[in-house]
Amino acid sequence: MTAPDPDEAGDDPEYRDSGLARERTSLSWTRTAIAFAALGGTVLKVNLATGLIILVIAPVIWQLGRVSRGALPGADGGPPAMSEVSATRLFIITVSIVGVALLCLVIAILGRSAPGALR
């Protein structure tokens, strides 16, 4: 599973250029940031402080996807090598979701419910 040889790429644009995969991954990061924002908006209805915290995470997540958007230069000034795509970014997302889930668990168990708050 090594990088494709450009001479053997054939007609498949996906095979010739990994840019499409990069773009799909970039869109995926954007969707994840939007999901965080949507969750923050929902939580905002029941707990203002927690909702704001989650809303602040959304642009951070979007920014974490910058490697997939190719904004970071590689060691030679070109696009970043995949080895530079660190596990730290994905670890931060995992920790964020677990933290948000714990906050929501506390709100769910201890918070006052507001039936019909979204009406």
Residues that bind other proteins in the complex, under the rule CB under 8 A: 1-4, 14, 18, 21-22, 24-25, 28-29, 31-32, 35-36, 38-39, 42-43, 45-46, 68, 81-83, 85-88, 90-91, 93-94, 97-98, 100-102, 104-105, 107-109, 111, 113-118
Structure tokens at 39: 């969750």
- For the bound state, the minimum distance from the C-beta of residue 90 to other proteins, rounded and expressed in Å, comes to 6
- For the bound state, the minimum distance from the C-beta of residue 17 to other proteins, rounded and expressed in Å, comes to 10
Nearer to other proteins by C-beta: 26 or 77?
26
Give the residue from 96, 86, 88, 22 showing the smallest Cα distance to 59. Answer: 96
Output DSSP code: residue 5. P
Burial 24-38 (b: 16+ CB within 10 A, else e): ebbeebeebbeebbe
- For the bound state, the minimum distance from the C-beta of residue 94 to other proteins, rounded and expressed in Å, comes to 4
| Number of neighbouring beta carbons within 10 Å of residue 112 | 7
- For the bound state, the minimum distance from the C-beta of residue 40 to other proteins, rounded and expressed in Å, comes to 10
